[in-house]
Structure 1
Amino acid sequence: MSALTAVLYAALIAYLGGWYMDMWHGNFSLLLFILSVVTGLYWLAEIFRFKPAREKAAIQLESQDAARRAELAKQGIDRVDGDITQARERLLMQPWWLDWTAGLFPVIVVVFLMRSFLFEPFKIPTGSMIPTLEVGDLILVNKFHYGVRLPVINKKIIDNHAPKRGDVVVFRYPMDPRIDYIKRVVGLPGDEVSYLNHELRINGQPVPVTPLGEQYDDLAYRYMLRFSERLGEVDHRIQQEKTPLSFNGSRYDFAFRDQCRHSLEGVVCKVPAGNLFVMGDNRDNSEDSRYWGFVPDENLVGRAFVVWMNFGNLGRIGAFH
C-alpha cells in the first residue's frame, strides 16, 4: 500500500472517529462527494495503470517460463517441474487496498447520486412531530419534489413543485445549517399566520380542527389532547397540552423578525417572499418558526413521505398521509 493511500485511510478514520465522538459536526453529503472523487481516481488508476502493470508482469512471467522450457528442451529435457499458474494468478490479483478504493467506487457513486438527487433517509430524533412521526421513525425524503439541487452546495438548477400547506419537509435549520430539521409547512409566502391561544389562523381564517379526545404520550408521561387538523388538502393529527401554555416569546434574532409580533398569547407573522412558516405537530413541544423564524427556500432538503422502518414498532411502517 502506498504512503498516499495510508494517509487517506488515516484521514478518513480520524474524521469519522471525531464525528462519532461529537468532536465536530460531520457533513455526510460532502464526505460522499469526496469519497466518490477519491475512489473514482483510484478506479481510473486501476484501469489505466495498476491492472495493465499486473497484466504486463504476468505476460513477462509466462515469457520467462516459456524461454526456460525452450532452453531445457534444447538440452533434451522434455519434462520440466514447476507450474506458474498460481504465481500468475497472484500477480493478476487486485491488492486489498485497491479492492477497498477502486472496488468501492461504483457503490459509493450510486449511493451519492441517489442520495443527492432521488431519496435520502433520515431518523426522527425528537418528539416535535408527534403524533405524525415518533422518535425512532426512519423516514425517506423525496429530494427532487421541490426541484433538483446540486449536491453539497444545494444550488437549485431545475425547479419542480412548490411547497404546499400541510407538506412535511426536511430543511437545514436556519440557525445552524449543519443540522437538519423536520416540520410541517403552515404558511406560504405572503400568508399571515397567527397562532394565538392554541388557535391557528391563516390569513385571518381559522384552520379547521376536529377533537379526537385524549391520548397518553409515552415521551411526555402525561395525557395530551389530540385533534385532526386540515391544512390545505392535507388532513393530519396534532396534539396539544391539556392546560394552555403561555408563549414565552423568541430569544432569536432571525431574518425578517420585523414581520412577526410576539406576545404572551402567541405570535403573528407575515411570511416573506421565498420563505416558509413551519410548525411541529406536537404544538406545545416544538421549537419552530414561532421561535426562530422562517425557512428560506434554499434551505429545503426535500419532502418527507414515508416511514420505511421503526425497529421498535413495525406497525409504524408506511406513508403518513
Structure 2
Amino acid sequence: MRLAFWKKKEASQPKKKKSFIREWVDAAVFAIVAASIIRIFLVEAYTIPTGSMEGSLLVNDYLFVSKVSYGARTPMTPLAVPLVHNTLPFFNCKSYTELVQWGYHRLPGFGHIERNDVVVFNFPAGDTVALEVQQDQDYYSLLRNYNNDRAFVKNNFTVLSRPVDKKENYIKRCVGIPGDTIEVRGGYLYVGNKLSKQYPHSKMTYTIATNGQVSLDEFVEEQDMNPEELNYDPNSKMYIANLANDQVAAIKKMKGVIAIAPFVLDKNDTRDNAFPNDTANFKWNRDFYGPFIVPKAGQQVTLSLQNIALYQRIIANYEHNSLDIKDGKIFINGKETTTYTFQMNYYWMMGDNRHNSADSRYFGFVPDDHIVGKAWFVWLSFGNKGIRWNRLFRSIAHLEQ
C-alpha cells in the first residue's frame, strides 16, 4: 500500500455566502457585545436629569463616566437586557431578572475616590421604589408621609425591589471620604473643621436687599438662568434667587443692591426631613448638619439608642445583618451589642446646587459597592437657546473653573 502524503486533497466545496439578513444579525450581535463590554468595563454615557449639580454640570449635559478610574464593578445582576439600565423602553417593565445574583467585586482601577471628585453611583435608598412617585421622593420618604403604613402604600402604589446595580443612577460631588468629619454650618460645608473647597459655579439660595431701583431680569437672561429661580417682593424690595458664587460677586457690584446673604434655615428647624429622620436625637437640616464621621471599613463605632438611626441602614440594608431593638437594647444577628465594626467604606455626596439637591443630607451614606464611576467629560449639551457650544468636549475639571 502506498500512502501518497504529497497528494493534494480534493478541493472542498466553496463556502456558501451568508445572506444579507445573516450578515446583518452577526454585525448587530457583535456591536451589542462590544458596546456592552465597553459600557460595563470602560465608559458609560450619562445624561444630567436635574439641576442638583448646577452650575458645574447643567441639565441636558451629556457626559461620559469612566469605569476604570476606580475600577469597574463586575455585574451583580447578569441576566439583563444589554445597553439599558433597569427599565425596558416602550414596555415600561423591568429589563432584568434576579434569578441569578452575583456578589460585589471591583476590578483594579487607576485610583480611588478622592475628596471633591464628581461621582456617579446607585441611589442608596433605591432598593425599594414606588413607580408612581417622582425620583426626587424615595419609597422610604413616601412611607413616612403615610405614617409608615406599608400595607397602605403597597395597596395604592406599584412597589418594586431592585438589586444594587439596578438602582437609579445619581451624580453628586463626593465631599466626604471614609474617616472624614463632616459638618454644615449656615449652609457652608466644613470637612475636618475646615471650610470645604468653594467652586465658582456652585449655587445657593440668596436674599438680595435693594433700594427698589434694581431689576435683575436682564441679568437672568444674560446668565441663561431659569426665571423661576428668581422671585421679587415689591413690599420689602427684596429678591430671593438661586445663584452661583460668581453670580453673587457680580450682583454685589450692581448699583442699588444694599446687601446679599445666603437664605438659610434656622438651626434646629427639622421640617425638611433630613437624614437620619430622627428629630428627637438629630435636629439637623440642609444648612445645619452634623458633625459626624463618615464610616470607614474596619472602624468600630459605639451604638446607643441615641445614634442607632444614623447607622441602621448600614447595618441592616447595606451590610445585611438583622437589627432589632428590644426593651431599650440593640441586637445584631440575635446578639445584644453596644458596638459595630463597619465592613465597607462609605462616602458623603452633595450636589453643587446646595439648596436644590437631594443628596446625602437626605439619603445618608453611599456604600462602596454602589459606586459606578467618575464623571469624565461632557461631549454634548443643550440649553434653552440650543446647543451650548462652550461646553462641548470639556472635562469636568474645566467646567468647574
Amino acid at match of 1:107: A
Classify 1:211/1:305 alpha carbon distance in 2 versus 1 (closer, same or farther; 3 Å).
closer
State the superposition RMSD in angstroms: 3.2
Aligned 8 A contact 2:376 2:396 in 1: yes
Q: Is 1:136 aligned to residue 154 of structure 2? A: no
Find the aligned partners of 1:210 and 1:171 in 2 and give their Cα distance: 22
TM-aligned CA deviation for residue 208 of structure 1: 4.8
Structure 1 contact 245–284 (Cα < 8 Å) conserved = no
Question: 1-side partners of 2:175 and 2:346: how far apart?
Answer: 11
Partner of 1:281: 352
Corresponding residue number in structure 2 for 1:3: none
Shift of 1:295: 0.7
- Specify the alignment match of 2:294 in structure 1: 271
- What 5-or-longer segments of structure 2 have no aligned partner? 1-11, 78-103, 127-163, 207-218, 231-240, 247-259, 297-344
The match for 1:167 is 117
- Aligned partners of 2:120, 2:376: CA distance in 1, in Å? 10
Question: How far apart are 1:140 and its partner, in Å?
Answer: 0.6
Secondary structure in 2 matching 1:113: helix
- Cα distance in 1 for residues equivalent to 2:275 and 2:195: 27
CA distance in 2: counterparts of 1:271 and 1:132, whole angstroms: 25
Assess if the C-alpha contact under 8 Å between 1:188 and 1:275 holds in 2.
yes
Query: Could you tell me the TM-score, scaled by structure 2's length?
Result: 0.49
Indicate how the Cα distance of structure 1 residues 102 and 160 shifts in structure 2: closer, same or farther if over 3 A, else same: same
- State yes or no: 1:94 paired with 2:19: yes
Return 151-160 or 211-220, whichever deviates more.
Answer: 211-220
Distance in 1 between residues matched to 2:362 and 2:227, nearest whole Å: 22
**1:125 alignment partner in structure 2:** 49
* Superposed displacement of residue 206, structure 1: 2.0
2:31 aligns with 107
Q: Which has the higher helix share?
A: 1
Counterpart secondary structure, 1:183: strand
Deviation per CA, 1:260-279: give whole Å up to 9, x if none. Answer: 94425521132011000010
1:207 Cα deviation from its structure 2 partner: 2.2
Task: Assess, with a 3 A threshold, how the Cα gap between structure 1 residues 280 and 211 changes in structure 2: closer, same or farther.
Answer: closer
Aligned match of 1:45 = none
1:305 aligned partner: 376
What is the distance in 2 between the residues matched to 1:149 and 1:211? Answer: 33
Residue 226 of structure 1 and its aligned partner are, at CA, apart by 2.3
- Fraction of identical pairs, as percent: 31
| CA drift at 1:128 | 0.1
- TM-superposition CA deviations, 1:243-265 (whole Å, max 9, x none): 224563536669xx99x944255
* Cα deviations by residue, 1:203-251 (Å, 9 ceiling, x for unpaired): 11222548889874317432333227xxxxxxxxxxx984224563536
Q: Distance in 1 between matches of 2:42 and 2:363?
A: 29
Q: Is 2:229 aligned against 1:206?
A: no
Q: Deviation above 6 Å: which 4+ runs of structure 1? A: 210-215
The equivalent position to 2:243 in structure 1, one of 225, 250, 260, is 225
Is the CA contact (8 Å cut-off) linking 2:46 and 2:62 kept in structure 1? yes
| Partner of residue 314, structure 1 | 389
CA distance in 2 between counterparts of 1:158 and 1:289 reads 27
Aligned residue for 1:244, secondary structure, equals coil
Q: Deviations over 1:29-81 (max 9, x none)?
A: xxxxxxxxxxxxxxxxxxxxxxxxxx97x88xxxxxxxxxxxxxxxxxxxxxx
Structure 2 distance, partners of 1:219, 1:307, is 25
Distance 2:200 2:28 in 1: 53
Cα distance between partner residues in 2 of 1:219 and 1:169: 29
Which segment drifts farther, 118-127 or 153-162? 153-162
| Unmatched runs of 5 consecutive residues or more in structure 1 | 1-54, 60-90, 229-239
Q: Distance in 1 between matches of 2:108 and 2:288?
A: 38
Normalising by the residue count of structure 1, what TM-score does the alignment of the two structures yield? 0.60
Deviations 1:133-161 (A, max 9, x none): 11000011110100132134562132541
The 2-side partners of 1:298 and 1:253 are apart by 21
1:250 aligns with one of 273, 283, 286: 273
Give the conservation status (yes or no) of the 8 Å contact 1:249–1:262: no
Q: Displacement of 1:193 after TM fit?
A: 0.5
1:195 Cα offset (Å): 1.0
Tell me, in whole angstroms, the C-alpha distance in 2 between the residues paired with 1:241 and 1:282. 16
How far did residue 109 of structure 1 move? 1.4
Aligned residue for 2:372, secondary structure, equals strand
The residue type paired with residue 264 of structure 2 is P
Query: Is the 1:185–1:277 contact (alpha carbons within 8 Å) kept by the matching residues of 2?
Result: yes
Q: Secondary structure at the match of 1:104?
A: helix
CA 1:241 to 1:160, structure 2 compared with 1: closer, same or farther past 3 Å?
farther
Total equivalences in the alignment: 220
